[in-house]
Amino acid sequence: MRRRELIALIGSVTAWPPTVFAVEPVKRPTIGFLGATTPTIWSSFVAAFLQRLRELGWIDGYNLAIEYRWAEGREDRYDELAADLVGRKVDVIVTGGTSAIIAVKQATSVIPIVFATAGDPVGTGLVASLSHPGGNLTGLSNQQTDLAGYRLELLHEVVPDIKRVALLGNVTSPNVILELNAVQQAAPKLGLETIRLDVKKAGEIVPAIESVKGRADALYVSTDPLLTVNQVSINTLAVRQRLPTINAFRQYVEAGALMSYGPNFPDLFRRAGDFVDKILRGAKPGELPVEQPVKFDLIINLTTARALGLAIPESFLVRAQQVIQ
């Protein structure tokens, strides 16, 4: 090609409108993540979730976007945050905790929902059944109600002299009510009496615990975001009143509670990544069976035990996944 012809060709190409060469940008799928507590409390959960997504080829900021919203244990924020994520037309919403899941379910019947942890998804009406959840949501159960009685047994095993156990629960959550009922049903079989401490907001927690001073020998803390974000206050007051405590979360024990028993929550959030991957690749959430926990953790805080004057049997300690000194 002659030089004059080449120059003419280049000139004609540069004169074409930019849209001729424009490449339609590839839309990255967006996950809406509604956290029931705070980024700090859920940090290990989020890390496990993101790690699993990376293993499956999804990298936040590269071929995936994640919109985080944090309720900080305030149930009155769930509806607002759920509506915000729905309004942004995210591709999947990930959350955990029965009240948060209910809020998201009420906000959309179209966007797929993956719950990383639900106490009793059938009993609270979230899904039709574990094997065929139906609708637009699926995920993992944390067996909150199923494990309630066993937690009480563990507490009684460590402190066999207790007679009355105070049950602290946020009764605005339907799942907490089921959990507290399960504990009350299990108590007589162990020769225990129970005292219900029903709360609905943060300001009621401390007065509730103070009300059983001298009347209760131990404290059962139910599984709920409102209580989790106030765990330091709960633990401090429990030790001051010499009340051995048990709950479901490792974080409570790391913050000074005596012991916890429950599913490994980081593992549940990790497995939630598998659900998200399947949905982003075309699976329908209502056709993905709800899964159960496979890893469980018994955590004991010996520093708290010494503060309470308790001697934990060695035979019990060897069963623990972690003993905090």
Q: 117 in helix, strand or coil?
A: strand
Would you place residue 241 in the very low, low, confident or very high pLDDT band (cuts 50, 70, 90)? very high
Give bridge partners of residue 291 from the DSSP assignment.
140
pLDDT in tens, 56-74: 999 999 999 999 999 999 9
> 4 vs 11, 12, 14, 15, CA distance in Å?
11, 13, 16, 17
CB 175 within 8 A of CB 169: no
Domain boundaries 144-263+297-324, corresponding CATH code? 3.40.50.2300
pLDDT in tens, 302-321: 999 999 999 999 999 999 99
Domain boundaries 30-142+265-293, corresponding CATH code? 3.40.50.2300
Residues ≥6 apart with Cβ < 8 Å to 12: none
Would you place residue 19 in the very low, low, confident or very high pLDDT band (cuts 50, 70, 90)? very low
Q: Domain residue spans in the chain? A: 30-142+265-293, 144-263+297-324
Amino acid at 47: A
Give bridge partners of residue 141 from the DSSP assignment.
118
Would you tell me how many other CB atoms lie within 10 Å of the CB of residue 215? 10
pLDDT at 27 over 80: no
Burial class (CB in 10 A: 0-12, 13-18, 19+), 22: exposed
Q: Phi/psi zone of residue 11: left (φ > 0), alpha (ψ -120 to 50 degrees), beta?
A: alpha
pLDDT in tens, 140-194: 999 988 999 999 999 999 999 999 999 999 999 999 999 999 999 999 999 999 9
Q: Residue 147: in which H helix or E strand, if any?
A: helix 144-158
Residues ≥6 apart with Cβ < 8 Å to 259: 154, 155, 158, 244, 245, 246, 253, 298, 299, 300, 301
**Tokens of residue 207, six digits:** 């007065």
Q: Whose CA is closest to 322, among 217, 233, 238, 249?
A: 249
Q: What is the pLDDT of residue 26?
A: 59
| Angle made by CA atoms 62, 88, 139, in degrees to the nearest 5 | 75
pLDDT in tens, 93-106: 999 999 999 999 99
